Amino acid sequence: MKIIIPVKRVLDPYTQARVNKQTQQVDLSNAKMAMNPFCEIAVEEALTLKESGAATETIAVSIGTDKTVDTLRTALAMGVDRAIFIKTDSELDLQPLHVGKILANIIQREEAQLIIMGKQAVDNDNNQTGQILSGLLNYSLGTFISKFDLSSDANSVEVSREIDSGIETRKLNLPAIVTVDLRLNEPRYASLPNIMKARSKPLETIELSSLGIDTSPRIKVVSVEESGTKDRASKQISSAEELFTELNQMGVL
């Protein structure tokens, strides 16, 4: 069984996003970039399946400009077998529907039965791509999973989903797409020897334009502004009595 793991290069999640007022975009020039944390969890799960013998091959896919190769090399260094790089000429504003169509093309070409991906990217926070992909391919879908068990005949998976009311468990027949939540696993770090080894692993480059997919934007970003957390004028207190008095005066009890 082949597993495809789509991965995304994003602003390092521990870095504050800054807006460039001139371009009305989040300024990513010189910013520290990283693999989306949810994608790391997806990679880890795929590697675990490969190590258990359930998967025959793990393939990471990413879309972007040349720098995106860094993220694919990270996936290879973690242990993925090979990578597919969909190259765009410029920083195209690709939206989840476009990404879904591009990934669907690659998945059909590779005849992959299982797609493991992050539930959301921490830059645009859309939480859409896996769901869209499942609709385009008519694959079964398990979102926000915190537990994953492949059946012994490898024809289905049982997943636990973290939903607002608790934990839902479903059985998905393959082919399936799962989107992973934080508590599925602890992603491994790439060791130095594996980082070296990743340089010689296969990385195929495909020009996005060769796929014949319409990538004209559906959504235009008109403007962006930093909204951050505003500091408040904090009042210091030092007892329960003081706290209850304050809260009563504010009318919030």
Partner 1 sequence: MSALILIELNGSEVSANSRAALTAALQLSDSVDALVLTNDSANASSAASMSGINTVKTIVDDSLEHANVEVASKLIADVMSDYKFLVSGSSTYSKNILPRVGALLDVQPISDVCEIKSSNTFVRPLYAGNVMATVETSDDTIVMTVRATAFEHAEDGGSAAVEALSPAMPESNSTFISLQESQSERPELTTAERIVSGGRGLGSKDNFAMIEQLADKLDAAVGASRAAVDAGFISNDYQVGQTGKVVAPKLYLAVGISGAIQHLAGMKDSQVIVVINNDPDAPMSRMADIVWQVDLFDALNELNAYQV
Q: Give the three-state DSSP class for 142.
A: strand
Question: Among residues 192 and 222, whose Cβ is nearest to partner 1?
Answer: 222
Rounded to whole angstroms, how far apart are CA atoms 19 and 25? 6
Rounded to whole angstroms, how far apart are CA atoms 241 and 163? 38
Binding mask 21-50 for partner 1 (x = CB under 8 A): -----x------------------------
Residues between 156 and 185 with contacts to partner 1, criterion CB under 8 A: 158, 161-173, 176, 181-183
C-alpha distance from residue 91 to each of 54, 67, 68, 95 (Å): 37, 11, 11, 12
Residues between 182 and 201 with contacts to partner 1, criterion CB under 8 A: 182-183
Residue 233 is encoded by which pair of tokens? 């004028």
Question: Among residues 183 and 199, whose Cβ is nearest to partner 1?
Answer: 183
DSSP 119: S
Query: In this chain, which of 123, 197, 203, 206 binds partner 1, going by CB under 8 A?
Result: 123
Residue 114 bridge partners (DSSP):
3, 176
Q: How far is the CB of 71 from partner 1 (least distance, A)?
A: 18
Binding region for partner 1 (CB under 8 A) out of 54-62, 77-85, 107-115, 128-136: 128-136
Q: How far is the CB of 1 from partner 1 (least distance, A)?
A: 16
Q: What is the size of the binding site for partner 1 (CB under 8 A)?
A: 85
Rounded to whole angstroms, how far apart are CA atoms 101 and 96? 9
Residue 208 has, within 13 A of its CA and on its CB side, a CA count of: 23
Binding region for partner 1 (CB under 8 A) out of 49-57, 76-84, 122-130, 202-210: 122-130
Residues between 203 and 242 with contacts to partner 1, criterion CB under 8 A: 217-241
Contact indicator for 60, 5 with CB cutoff of 8 Å: yes
Query: In this chain, which of 64, 79, 100, 187 binds partner 1, going by CB under 8 A?
Result: 100
On the question of a cis peptide bond just before residue 175, with omega within 30 degrees of 0, the verdict is yes
